[in-house]
Structure 1
Amino acid sequence: MKRTFEEALEHRRSYYAIGSDSPVLDEEIVHVVREAVKNVPSAFNSQSTRIVLLFGDEHRKLWDIVKSTLKKRISAEAFVQTEAKIDGCFASGHGTVLYLEDTSVVKKLQDSFPSYKDRFPTWSQHASAMHQLAVWAMLEDLGLGASLQHYNPLIDEEVRRTWNLPEEWELVAEMPFGTPTGEPGEKEFEDLSKRIKIFR
């Protein structure tokens, strides 16, 4: 679609009704992720963000991990609804983007710049958030719907073990995506005059 950046932000929404097909080739999705990882800024140019991109069976494997983890933690009655949501809103998609932060990079910066030691973990999360928004907006521009989920830290160890990820990679969020099969919910906007102050 190639919208302007402003249009991409405006059209980015949370899609919970997604299908397993895709309007674009997987390589176009890989390209979007690579461009985000290459070009999104980070404090001190730390480049601490790591991404794991899951397609097909690997994508479904993630959501099986989420279900098996939650099944052990909640009642059987509650799990019925939880399983239905996961199967119908997340596992039903085409793929999932996992956002992680490399804590070894953060630790190195803390050691190198002790005056900012307490801030580097926060700045690391800022970098992750910018990657999330960039990828989300670009996926939407490709015609894909996505949402942002947070089943970490409950699934962290199993995710690390399943995909043999470094111990230092900390899971931040999960973004299932696929072709939208329904419309996103209505979005309410707070009065901007309460959120922005302008001085001239």
Structure 2
Amino acid sequence: MAHSFDIRHGELIDVIGSPVRFEDVTFVPASTRLTGTSFSAQFNLIDWAREQQRKLPAIVRGDENAAWFLGRLIYLFNTENVAEDERMEKTCFDVSFVAILSDASNLAVPFDCSDHYGRTSLMFSSDDEPPLGLRSRIADAFYGLMLDEPDSLTDYDNRMFHSGTGFWIEFGVSHGEPYFDEGSDADT
């Protein structure tokens, strides 16, 4: 039996990975198009945890949590470790999902998950923005999934140029431990 989905607050272009369900929300890696022209980061992981009064495990390592987060994304969704020259400037990763809410007649809401200099956040459409309650529900389930078994990571390595300092940031997961370290000078 085929499922029908009610896609709102953005567009689904193509499914690019296997779904993972957490509680009553299924997350599907997808190529999406958010509607609008100006997008802002919302639900910063650290701010979200503070608002939820949730203590993050030590492995998350504070503000610069993108190395851990990408290790979880690769582990859970087989997300690609995209090279620095193929990503948006100032990011370690940028992935899109559709959140399918099974108890809401299979309402499907596209969103992006990315970072800015290592600080992970979510983005939703700016035109036809989902209501705050819906965005919060998606963020709660998505971050809940990411924090369920937080030590289950895939090893990888990558780098990002920090234009403000002129240094490379080396980041990744090595032997199950995330790292986010200032590397070499851009001139070397």
> In proportion to residue count, which structure has more helix?
1
Q: TM-score, normalised by structure 2?
A: 0.27
Greater Rg by CA = 1
Report which structure shows greater RCO (CA 8 Å, sep ≥6).
Answer: 1
TM-score (norm 1): 0.26
Higher strand share goes to which structure? 2
